Structure 1
């Protein structure tokens, strides 16, 4: 598989794995129901401790992004639609906060941040997104 870790990056390896899996799920690279490598397999591939992979998988399972079937493997969850609106918005606000901290540290201007967000939203390509863009263009 395509996972990679950078031990000297200053970010825990399990967090790096989580970020990559979240990104792959959000972008559709990993589809609902798709099987992830086993803990042992991924640990060997990346030359890391199996406990590190296990921790990443456990955290992602707690978030509802993946699920494990004992004896069968670990899979991408169907959807996070089971979250309450309040929880979805809480997580979104957390992500936005992280974005702003990162943008501040990179000394990005508000215009640069907005342009990057708009580009990502446009790339989501869902009908709801296109409809919202049309509605906003009319304003």
Structure 2
């Protein structure tokens, strides 16, 4: 069960701490689409925050398109991207027969799971199969230019898992690229899904959000770190570092000294290796760079830092779902 921790003596406002923790729970699929968020009363008892503060956080999540408020029922995680069927629903035939379309989708998935090939299924579901084949012909990963490192991580992991070419497109250029081709699938993290959907949906291009790894094992190790330890965080992505720093602070407060470095910042990376007792590396490239830096500085180190290498950025279930959606499984 997801637990929320608020540091009352932190410089980071309590509402921002809670907002970031809830967004992380949604992005990592701990709170999947349709999940009912805790009531303001439950969260108030758990965190010690005033219910008005929690209500403001929920309103901001709703304004950002992350949750839906249902009167008299509660706050629910919103289905996003292809989960909501928005891109497909823009086609007239899908708008005319929405129930039939959902039935075709479920039947096709059942056939694929039983070993039926796309070629065999095409005779029964020609329209749906043709649509999937067109979309799988081009896979675009998008992320904002200011956090293009997160996009690079997704491309690396998707190309390895899917065994097909994957193109990285900055969010700021996505509209222009989609104007040139309407056959494709846009993939992005749930952190960026709202912006990607706004660009792709009017062009009838589907967007599939991928869930990030939940970092459950790493969080357990975080709680086990002694007070006043120096913790280093290293990643390709500046966005991952910002989110990780806020979450670490929310969970441990001032107990830990936190240092961060992007992979390309060799000066800060060396400083972390010399100062941190533990280093969390959020991708394989960063892990390799940290190991190299530690080896180069070994003669100057009294005790090498403990290195925790996070294996993946994208959750394993998302990879499996994407393979099925693209007809690759």
Pair 1:108 & 2:261 matched: yes
What runs of 5+ residues in structure 2 fail to find an aligned partner? Answer: 87-141, 149-190, 192-236, 245-257, 270-280, 285-310, 324-329
Shift of 1:117: 3.6
What runs of 5+ residues in structure 1 fail to find an aligned partner? Answer: 130-139
Aligned to 1:4: 5
TM-score (norm: length of structure 1): 0.67
Aligned to 1:93: 147
SS of 1:7's partner is coil
User: Could you say what the CA RMSD is over the residues aligned between the two structures, in angstroms?
Assistant: 3.6
Aligned to 1:38: 39
Shift of 1:55: 1.3
Larger helix fraction of residues: 1
Q: 1:33 to 1:50 in 2, by over 3 A?
A: same
In our comparison, the structure showing a higher alpha carbon Rg is: 2
SS of 2:68's partner is strand
Distance in 1, Cα, partners of 2:146 & 2:13: 22
Shift of 1:13: 0.9
Q: What is the count of residue pairs matched by the alignment?
A: 123
1:6-60, CA deviations, whole angstroms, 9 ceiling, x for partnerless residues?
1122211111111111111111111111111111221133221112101111111
Distance in 1, Cα, partners of 2:145 & 2:13: 21
Distance in 2, Cα, partners of 1:93 & 1:6: 27
Distance in 2, Cα, partners of 1:12 & 1:124: 30
TM-score (norm: length of structure 2): 0.32
Larger strand fraction of residues: 2
* 1:124 equivalent among 315, 320, 325: 315
